Structure 1
Amino acid sequence: MKAHDIMNRHVYKVKENDTVRSVIERFMDHRISGLPVINDRNEIVGYISDGDIMRYIGRKSDRVIGNFYYIAVMRDQEEMDVRVKQILNLNVLAIAKRKVITAQWDEDIDQIAAILGKRQIKKLPIERDGVLVGIISRGDVIRHVFRSVT
């Protein structure tokens, strides 16, 4: 069995000039946690996940914390609010991973499973001739492998 046999051909994706706001909207609208980032030629130029957004929101800036706990909490909340507002208008490529792990459309399913497992990723964009043509999740592999033996 090959990647093109089980891949989802309807791929939610974002363009390289989209904002993080549009990414979060797609996450919520489609109940997903990651998206390939493509250019105008449908080539994969990045991948953004909910983890990338969490890392950005959760980062700490260098600052001096006041003597009282409530001052530190207020500063933390104020900084969080600022970071959240800033991130919404960022270009998606400002926080997306640029080195994207992909597989070819004619890759064997056992290789797809090995990549997903070894790299500890949830979804794998599938390319053909350098263009995004599908996506395979861990669940896709598990469903197809176990259907074939039962």
Structure 2
Amino acid sequence: MQAYEIMMNRTYKVKESDTVRSVIEKFIAYRISGLPVVNDSNEIVAYISDGDIMRYIGKYNDFVIDTFFFATVIKGDDEDFLKRAQRLLNLNVMDIAQRKVIKVAWNEEIENIAAILGKKKIKKVRVERNGVLVGIISRGDVIRHSFKALL
């Protein structure tokens, strides 16, 4: 089974010229947690996720790990949370997006996609054909298509 057989063809995306405001609006409207960032030719140039947003709006702290489960804050900034959030909305998406994007070819085998998702510990992988975004595959997509016939 290949990527094009299991990918979601409907992909939400943002352009590299968009603001973070448009990203968050799409996160809320479509109940998603990440978006590919594309250029005018629909080529993937970055990826922005809810984690990128969290890193920006969270206090910039230094943590000391006391145990496996707990961290102690030893220093933090005092800027108001709402001020950080407001400033974030007006940033260009490329200011905080991850430029290293993990993607697969439209004809990649499903077992290779499963290995990439597992090894890289990511939830989704972008699918491209001739350098252009054509779909997205999630871990759930791989599981559903892999075990559908077996259950």
Structure 1 and Structure 2 fold alike (TM over 0.5): yes
What amino acid is the match of 2:43? Answer: E
Matches within 5 A, 1:111-122: 111-122=112-123
Percent identity over paired residues: 65
Give, in angstroms, the shift of residue 92 of structure 1. 0.4
Match of 1:70 in 2: none
What amino acid is the match of 2:47? Answer: Y
Distance between the aligned counterparts of 1:134 and 1:48, measured in 2? 16
Task: Say yes or no: does 1:133 pair with 2:134.
Answer: yes
Matches within 5 A, 1:1-150: 1-60=1-60, 76=78, 78-150=79-151
State the TM-score, normalizing by the size of structure 2: 0.87
Shift in alpha-carbon separation, 1:89–1:144, aligned structure 2, 3 A:
same
Distance between the aligned counterparts of 1:120 and 1:61, measured in 2? 25
Distance between the aligned counterparts of 1:147 and 1:37, measured in 2? 32
RMSD of aligned C-alpha atoms? 1.9
What amino acid is the match of 1:117? Answer: G
How many residue pairs match? The answer is 139
Distance between the aligned counterparts of 2:99 and 2:59, measured in 1? 20
Distance between the aligned counterparts of 1:85 and 1:33, measured in 2? 19
What amino acid is the match of 2:143? Answer: I
Give, in angstroms, the shift of residue 81 of structure 1. 1.6
Computing the radius of gyration over CA atoms, which structure comes out larger, 1 or 2? 1
SS at match of 1:148: coil
State the TM-score, normalizing by the size of structure 1: 0.87
